[in-house]
Amino acid sequence: MQFGALFLGDPPVSRVVELAKKAEDLGFDYVWLADSQMLWQECWVTFALMAQATERIKIGPCVTNPVTRDWSVLASLLATLDEVSGGRMVCGIGRGDSAVRTIGQRPATVAEFEESIGVIKGLVAGNKVDRNGTELDMPWWDGRDMEMWGAGYGPRVLDVVGRICDGFILQLADPDILEWILPLVHSGVAAAGRNAEDVATMISGPAYITDEEGRAHANAQLRWFAGSVANHVADMIATHGEDQFPSELTDFMRGRPKYDYQHHGKVGNPQTEYIPDEVNERFCVIGTPDEHIAKLRDLQERGADAYTIYFIHDNIEATMEAYGEHVIPALR
């Protein structure tokens, strides 16, 4: 299993760069930043500084979107930063959530999502691509096949991810939901004539190292996460109906209040107080290093190839160090 560390672009930038270097030193494979221009500092500027401060770790957005960033601009950013980092850039992409909702826009359609991935991957690979009848090309770039990870939950998005992406991002750490959702990705894989191993699976979500005495505090620190997952579940239910999804993914939605994106990704989000600890602990990884190892082994046995930790809580360094010392070596 590979491991990633995700940070928010809260100032100062130097702190984020310092954490990226620490993740590399502790054996993480990826370091990711959220791309949401109204809520956090500009990730693409920070990537350049992270690339200069590190040597081995892969770097990328988790996730960007095809609404707030023109597709050709995304391709140019990725290619430029790939040169700066010595070939270490990767890209996670979704239809758009907080980045688009905080400016009054809507997520990309599934068709736009699919087309944008083709354009971005093609340009970064050094190919000429067509968009709206115009041939696009980056003659200054030699091209490289870059890892493109697609994020989503709904069946149409997962079909796209399985057909054209290099990896699938599932934003929660629930083994039962992973087991339910992976066949939807693999149906797209099969439709494209690919092999299941062509598309890696990455679980993403918060992890918190604690003993039993600190468990209630850990749950309070991470409750914001299930509330953010609920936004995506609400969209899926509105499109497909609740009966299309397992109860583990829908039951907790009852009693969900209106969501304010100004609190998105923030510890203590008041719109997430309805989340029970049982749901919180299914979606996150909480407990001693041994408990983390056991849950991640379960996820690995059900198809997870990587785990990216959202370091959005008050115990960042201690959790990172416990992973570097205990968890990562046990699952390598």
Query: Which ranges constitute the DSSP H helices of 26-145?
Result: 43-53, 71-85, 98-101, 110-124
Backbone angles phi, psi at 127, to 5 degrees: -95, 160
pLDDT, the chain, mean:
96
pLDDT tens-digit readout, 205-223: 999 999 999 999 999 999 9
Domains of the chain, first to last: 2-215+286-331 (3.20.20.30)
Q: Does residue 327 have a pLDDT over 90?
A: yes
Percentage helix, strand, coil for the chain under 3-state DSSP, each rounded to 5: 50, 15, 35
Peptide bond before residue 63 is cis, with ω within 30 degrees of 0: yes
Q: How far apart are CA 86 and CA 12, in angstroms?
A: 25
Q: Count of CB atoms within 10 A of residue 248's CB?
A: 16
Query: In this structure, is the dihedral angle defined by the CA atoms of residues 191, 193, 196 and 201, taken in order, positive or negative?
Result: negative
Secondary structure (3-state) at 168? strand
Nearest Cα neighbor of 54 from 80, 16, 91, 110 is: 16
pLDDT tens-digit readout, 136-149: 999 999 999 999 99
pLDDT tens-digit readout, 93-126: 999 999 999 999 999 999 999 999 999 999 999 9
Q: Does residue 278 have a pLDDT over 90?
A: yes
Conformational region of residue 193, where left means phi above 0, alpha means psi within -120 to 50, and beta covers everything else? left
Q: Does residue 239 have a pLDDT over 90?
A: no
Tokens 């990884």 found at: 285
> pTM, whole model, 2 decimals?
0.96
Region 39-65: what's the mean pLDDT? 98
Q: How far apart are CA 99 and CA 213, in angstroms?
A: 37
Tokens 């690979």 found at: 125
pLDDT tens-digit readout, 25-44: 999 999 999 999 999 999 99
Q: Does residue 281 have a pLDDT over 90?
A: yes
Q: Read off the tokens for 87.
A: 């070939």
